[in-house]
Structures are given as structure tokens and as C-alpha cells.
A and B are shown apart, each in its own frame.
Chain A
Amino acid sequence: MKLSNKITGCVLILFICFFSLATFFGKKKDYSDKENRPLADFPEITGQGLMYGDSGRELNAYMADHFAFRDSWIALGAGIGANVGEAFINGVYVTPERLIAADTSYRHCLPENAAAVNSFSENYDGAVYFAAIPTSAGIYSDLLPPYLAASTEKQMLDGFYGTLLGDIRKIDAYNILKMLSENYIYYRTDRKWTSYGAYCVYRTVIQKLGFMPVSYDKYTIRHVTDGFRGDLYSRAQHMESKADILDIYEYDDGTEIVRCRAYSSDGFVYDKELYDLAAGETDSSYKLYLGEPAAVVTLTTTVNNDRRLLVIGDEFTSCFIPFLTKHYSEIAFVSPKYMSKGLAEYLDPGDYEQTLFLLGIDSLETDVLGKIND
């Protein structure tokens, strides 16, 4: 028994030392492609941080992010977590069909956002449209166990729409998508909608905006990649869930995009393409739609009707924009999340006769629209 303890002790110590040394001397990455997020930097030592113990916490986060063989560890942990007890890993519920973000805490849309939209609408001459897009957790909540599906996005949406002014035209994306939930309208590994989901909502939105939608059979659909793994996959690292397909909907009616100009959050202005096909091949393939996120993207097309549309949105919107380009001669797509200054610094909303708010409901849970009236 004594000998056994000695051997066990030696093995454990060696095990620990091996991974400590491998972590210490191992090559450090800045960005995790698998998890789709930047990894923690070595904490800056500040007096404040040392006093309050933040440095210690940050050091642990750094250690965790750069731990030797991190990806394999997480995959092993996810494999264990998915098979013992509930299949609930890092706030993601694993079902055979898809991954769903689940949260026991109370979710609600912030009233500040409604106030911001209302005050925007009051100071604006044109028409304002609002479409809040549910996440996959909202549409597929019946796959969740009862206690996790407590606060439904339907209620959140209804509550939020109720606080918007009467002359803002609200678009009920929830019911459109809910009815089509049998189709591939949401990614299996991401909280966002697919291009097809976006198309289904586009049909309704564009009619409200005063156009006839392009019918589905006119599109040529191109599968750019079938290896897309979304943000839910990044959180759960659940190997067994099937990767997703990213599509491009193309329709040649003779119009084209003349210029696509982006204003990045740090003040750079540059031209880019509607689709970043190079990104489609990489691990962060969602950047396929409109490339790197920017504060404002303005698109000029050869559509000859002199109609201009202002779209205020987030990640949900970037795969929605291509559908709109067939109807407007100019579209400005604003992402308040990436704006470093007020909206008026970038453009004058008065130049656009219509404004469409199209945001994921999870964005409305944060104070996202604070800067649109500045």
C-alpha cells in the first residue's frame, strides 16, 4: 500500500508538472479559431488590480485560456458534461437536433432601447419600421426542459413592442419564423437565423416597405461552406453536433452594387465586398456576410429609383442586407454595437426616407441603441 501511494504520488506530480511546464513554455495564441473569440492577454499588473484581486482572477483566466491542449480538454469536458446528468454545458443545452442557448435567469428587453427608438422616431420625418428577431432559443424553446424555457422570447417581444410608439410599424418576425420552424431557418450550432430564415422574414418586411419580394425560385443558391460552427458550438464545444451550411442567395436582375463603403469603429473608411468569400473558408466563416463588422456600411446600387433606406441592426442583419440591395439605390447599414460616436457623426438620418430597425432580441437585452440619437 505504501509503495502504491508512492507511485501514485509520483505519477500525479509528474502529470501536474508536465501540464504546468507545457502551459508555461507552450506557444500562446491570441485568438481561438475553435471558440471564435480572442483569448485573454497576460494581465496587466496595476495597483488597483492587485488590491482588489482582479489580477489574480485575470491570471486564472489567462491560465485557462492558454492551458496546454486546451481544445482537447474542453472537448473531453463537453463529452463528459453532455453524457452525465443534463446535457447542459456552459449555458448551452444539447439536443440531438441542435444546440440551444438556455438561461435560468430572467431575460427582458431594456426599456432604454424602446425609449431610444421612440425618441428617434419623433425626431424623424420618414417612416420607421421595427423587426426584432428571436434567437433559436425563442423558436425552439419547446425542445428545452420546462424550467429552462421559463422566460419566452415571445413574451419579451410582445412586451417590447407594447412600449414602442403607435406610428412605428412593427413586424412580427416571431410568428413568421415559428410557423416555418420545421425548415432550416436557424443554424444548428448558432443562435442566429440562416439566410433562408432571413429570406422568409424579408418577404414580409419588403412588402411593408412598399416593394414586391423577389420570389424564391428566382434565386440561385450557392453553398459556400458546410463547415460553419457557430457561437453555441464555441460555448459548448460539443463535437457531435453537425456543422452548418452558409448560403449565398444570388439573383441577377441586371442591377449590381457599385460601391460598398465601410466605416470601422476606430475611424477607418474603406471599401469592401458584399460577401467576403475568403472568410467563408476560415473558422470565423460567419464573416462571409459583409466581412469584418463595421460601425456603418453604405451600399450604392444601380437600382434606379432614388430610394434610400437606413437599416439599424446587428449580426442578424448582415445576412439580411443582400436581399434589400435589389430594391434600393442606397442603403446605410448601421451597427450601433460598433459605433464609437453618435449616429449623427456618421450620417444624417434625414437623408433616408425609411428606417428599418432589425435586431436580434438578445441585442435588445443590452443597452445597444444608446447612441442613435446623439
Chain B
Amino acid sequence: MLYCSLLFIYGFLPVSLGIYYAVPKKFKDIALLLESLVFCGFFGLHLLIFMSAYTLVNYTAAQLTFRASRRKGILRVLPAAAGICLDAGALLFFREQWLFLLKGLFSVPENFFPIGISLFSLSAIGYLLDVYRGNIRAEKNFVRFALYIMMFPRLIMGPVVNYRSYLLILRKRRYNIGEIGSGMILFVKGLAKKVLFGDWLYMLYSAVKGCDFAELSAASAWLGITAYILCLYFTLSGFADMGAGISRCFGMRFPVSFSYPVFSGRIRYFASGWFIQPVHWFREYLTKPLSSQVRSKNLSKGIFVAVWVLGGYWFGFSLGGAVWGALTGASILAENRLRNVRLLKSNGIFYTFFITSFFAVFLSTGSVPDGLRYMWVMTGGSGIPADALAAYLFRAYIVVILAAVYASTDLFANTIQRIRCSKCGAVVNVIMPFVMPVLLMICTSVIACTGSSDAMIVRL
């Protein structure tokens, strides 16, 4: 039951919200945990069992780490190291394809995938590291810790926040209708991003991807990769917005995960605006501590790129993902070096989009040889600059692409903001209660036939 299914929107969400607001303040955490358990249960009891075990293991590991902090040597490191190894091992085990042989050994049911494992394992590892370093005390309240790992609005697409910020968000919970209103608006926005833009662009992308690369024209290839990068953005950020919106309905204000990265002025901005929290996590827990250990500037640059490789691998769990990470990391370094070149300065948006979509080929194909072949087509290597397919797809999708490009920049949000601040700000406030239900209606009608939208599911 993903957020974009009828069962969730018209069944689980209103019921869980009703229960949450009906119970007294004392029991709200427990209610939310029980609801999250039911949410996991919808994906199968296997997930429920897995999540419970995962939470229990991490809870225990954190307690032991905290107790061991007064000891010296191996005994001090052991609990944290064991916990982190288990978490990382679980992540690798479930996401890496070639470990399927091992799955038979552990009699893991076929098709079982703990949804959101990439994100909550980052949370768990970060938490253990924080406890080990003494930044925070180990959480004694099991309910609160369990919510940190498996709270249902955060389960699918994060955001990965550190435990200290999480506690702050929990403490600052606000229960009022205004908060629910902003939450619902954010949810509907996210739903529209996923079901409308994400799915339509996915149709375009799959039209190109289904073709034989040898017969593909350069124009089609560029259309395809543009659709891919926009589709990925709208799908991921749609899920993130839906999650954040639901959290907000429950009174919690989690930060946004994407800040209009696709059309950024610099590759660096692209990289920092795309999946903000995981990028931040990798910087906080890997790049910074490792760089502080080395003196040599070149070595720290090497570490920077290496962490990007790891980040890319974390995203795709494929060689293509790692190559994407390496290229992105390296291009950020190159950009820093060349930042004073006037030509680059004035063409920021163009070169950033050009380069990031070029690299995104590796994310899309997952394998390096296929990625290289696709790139070869993009540069005109197939000898066909444009063909009937490209013309057809262009004609059919130009409106969708233009709308998606517009919506993926901050132009739209800024326009709304500017109108709000101007004299006719009241207009926005008046039409909002009409626009949002219509948007929800459109999204519902699009998913009504199958009951859910599963065009592009990114397994994170």
C-alpha cells in the first residue's frame, strides 16, 4: 500500500488520522506506532516481523554502545561496530541483486523487499554513530525509537534526519486544523507530482527505453533521458512530499528533501538540492570525519569523490550508480576549479542540465556498457539525428515536458509567493480551497482504474 493508492488515501489515511487525534496526548506515540505496524502489515507480515526485529536489534545495539562508552579499546567499539555491520549488511543483502543466492540460504521469501531500507538504515547507522561519539544519549523510550525507524509517513521516502532533530520535531508537534491543512496541501501536491508528472513522463521514458539502442535517433535519446531525469525527480520528490505532508497532518514538520535541483545554476547546487538529507548524511558521517584525518588536499578530494561513488552506489546498487556518483563527484571538483571561467558562469543552467542528464544515463541503465551505448547514441553515434519516433514523441509530449520543466523549477513557487505578497494576495487564498480538491480529484481519477499508480517504483 503505497501513498498513491486508493486504499491509502481513502482508507488508511483518514482512519489513522482520526484515531491519532482521538486518543489523548499521552498515547499519541503508541497510536502512531501501532498504525505504522499496521501499515507495514499491509506489505505482508514478513515486513512487520523484519521491521520489529530491525528496530529491536538497533535499540539493543544503541543501549550497549552507550553502556560501553566508559570502557576502553575493543569493548568500546564492539557494540556500535556490530550494530552498524548488521545494518549495512541488511541493506546490502536486500538491495544487491547478486546476493540472491544467499537469500535461498536464509530462506527469505521471494519478492520480499523491506521498503525504504536504504533510508531507514542510514537513519539507524547515523544514530548508532551519534551514540558512539557521545553526541546523544541512547534513547530509553522504545516507542519513540521505534517511531524513528518505522513511522509510516517516513518509511517510504525519508527524510533522513538525525536523532537530535527528530526529537526536536517530535517535541514541537502542533495539533491544529491549520497544520492539517498545510499537510494535506503538501500531500496533494506530492500526489500530483507522482501520479501526473511522474507517470506521464515515465510513459515517454519507457517508449524510448523499449527501443533497440542501435536504431535510436539522437533526438529520441535526448528526449528519453530528459524524461527520465524529470520522471525520477517527480517520482522521488512526489513521494517525499506526500510523506512530509502526512507527517505534517500528524503535527510533525519534517524538512523537504528536494529543493528544485533539476535546473540549477551549478552542478554543486544540483548535487546539494537532490535528495538533500542523504547527501547531507554522507557528508556528515563520511566525508567530514574522513577528511579531518588527512592533511593532503588531494587526498581529501579523493575522499570526496570516493564518498560520492558510495552515495551513487547506495542509490542504485549497481555499477552504473557508482559510475554516476564518481562522475558527479568529479564534476563538482572540476566545476569548483573552473568557477571563474566567464563562459561557464553565464551558462550555468545549460551546462548543468547538459552534464547531469548525460550522467543520469548510468542511473537509468544501471549497467556501464548499456550506459556507454546510450551515450554514444546521444552524441549522434548511431548516425540518425532525428526520426519519426522523435517527432511523434515530441509532438505528443511537448506540453507535458514544458509543464514539467516549469514545475520542476522554483519559478512556479516564486510566482505564487509573489502574488501572495502583492495586493492581490487574497486571490491565491481564495482559490486555494478550490484548486486543491480539483487536483486531488484529477489524481484520483487517474489512479481509479487500477487503484494505485505503479509506473515507476524506485526501490530505496
Contact = CB atoms under 8 A, between A and B. Distances in A.
Nearest to B436: A8
A223 interface: no
B436 A20 contact: no
B184 A50 contact: no
Nearest to A89: B449
B418 interface: no
B6 interface: yes
A293 B357 CA distance: 53
Interface string A104-137: 1000000000000000000000000000000000
Contact of A6 (B177, B208, B389, B397): B177
Most buried by A among B207, B393, B447, B449: B449
B5 A60 contact: yes
Contacts of A67: 6, 10, 448, 451
A53 B10 CA distance: 19
Interface in A175-207: none
A239 interface: no
Given A7-B433, A13-B180, A13-B184, A19 B448 contact: no
A53 to B, nearest CB: 3
Contact of A52 (B46, B188, B447): B46
Contact of A16 (B10, B204, B397): B10
B188 A60 contact: no
Given A5-B178, A8-B436, A10-B177, A74 B449 contact: yes
B207 A4 contact: no
A85 B449 contact: no
Interface stretch (B37-45, B71-79, B325-333): B37-45
A2 interface: yes
Secondary structure type dominating chain B contacts: helix
B82 to A, nearest CB: 29
A150 interface: yes
A56 B400 CA distance: 33
A336 B263 CA distance: 57
Interface string B88-113: 00000000000000000000010110
A77 B109 contact: no
A1 B433 CA distance: 11
B169 interface: no
Contact of B203 (A1, A52, A80, A88): A88
Contacts of B14: 13, 16-17, 20
A61 B206 CA distance: 25
Interface string B427-443: 01110110011001110
Contact of B6 (A2, A3, A6, A64): A64
Contacts of B425: 1
A67 B208 CA distance: 34
A304 B167 CA distance: 91
Nearest to B451: A64
Given A12-B436, A84-B399, A56 B1 contact: yes
A82 to B, nearest CB: 11
A interface, size bucket:
35 or more
Contacts of A76: 441-442, 445, 448
Given A5-B181, A5-B182, A6-B177, A64 B436 contact: no
A186 to B, nearest CB: 23
Given A4-B429, A11-B436, A70-B448, A84 B10 contact: no
B392 interface: yes
A6 B41 CA distance: 32
A64 B452 contact: yes
A370 B10 CA distance: 43
A145 interface: yes
Given A63-B10, A80-B445, A56 B44 contact: yes
B183 interface: yes
B200 interface: yes
A81 interface: yes
B289 interface: no
A60 B452 contact: yes
A318 B177 CA distance: 61
A28 B425 CA distance: 45
A29 to B, nearest CB: 15
Contacts of A16: 9-10, 13-14, 440
A53 B43 contact: yes
Interface string A44-86: 0000001111101001110111010010011011101100111
Contacts of B206: 104
B449 A86 contact: no
Contacts of B47: 53
A147 B210 contact: yes
A9 interface: yes
A11 B437 contact: yes
Contacts of A12: 181, 184-185, 188, 436-437, 440
B25 to A, nearest CB: 21
A81 B446 contact: yes
A145 B208 CA distance: 12
B210 A53 contact: no
A85 B44 contact: no
Contact of B448 (A4, A8, A50, A64): A64
Given A11-B436, A19-B10, A77-B445, 10 more contacts: A1-B420, A3-B429, A8-B433, A50-B45, A63-B6, A63-B11, A67-B10, A74-B448, A76-B448, A78-B449
11 contacts: A6-B177, A12-B440, A20-B15, A23-B10, A50-B44, A56-B1, A56-B42, A65-B451, A84-B399, A145-B207, A148-B207
Interface of A: 1-13, 15-17, 19-20, 23, 50-54, 56, 59-61, 63-65, 67, 70, 73-74, 76-78, 80-81, 84-86, 88, 90, 104, 145-148, 150, 237
